[in-house]
Amino acid sequence: QSVLTQPSSASGPPGQRVTISCSGNISNIGGSTVNWYQHLPGTAPKLLIYRNTQRPSGVPNRFSASKSGTSASLAISGLQSEDEAEYYCASWDDSLNVVIFGGGTKVTVL
């Protein structure tokens, strides 16, 4: 069972906005930064968001994220078919002294 809690799935038609939540506690999200990864089966996971809100170069600005207290969220606006993937939040946990991932959210474009 993941220490970070995400919904298992999210969906929307092309062009829609989808949000994914990630809930943790004071030892992880509350005391560190949150990162988001995109993973398509058979490929290397890709860093999507780092340090709560920052996008690496090359990541479209359709992807945005925020953090408040012990929770974070990822938003995908203008949903496109290529956005179909699994999305994971992750953070360092100071209590466990490990990196922890959320369980992943599968995004489907209807």
Partner 1 sequence: EVQLVESGGGLVQPGGSLRLSCAASGFTFDDFAMHWVRQCPGKGLEWVSAISWNSADRVQADSVKGRFTISRDSVKNILYLQMDSLRVEDTALYFCARDKKILYGSGTYLDFWGPGTLVTVAS
**Interface residues toward partner 1, by CB under 8 A:** 2, 31-33, 35, 37, 39, 43-47, 50-51, 56, 86, 88, 90, 92, 94, 97-104
Report the nearest approach of partner 1 to the CB of residue 43 (Å). 7
Tell me if 59 sits within 8 A of 5, measured CB to CB. no
The two counts, helices (H) then strands (E), for the chain are 0, 9
Which C-beta is closer to partner 1: that of 75 or that of 96?
Answer: 96
Report the nearest approach of partner 1 to the CB of residue 38 (Å). 11
The two three-digit tokens of residue 89, written as one number? 């939040």
Report the nearest approach of partner 1 to the CB of residue 44 (Å). 4
Nearest to 79 by CA among 9, 2, 15: 15
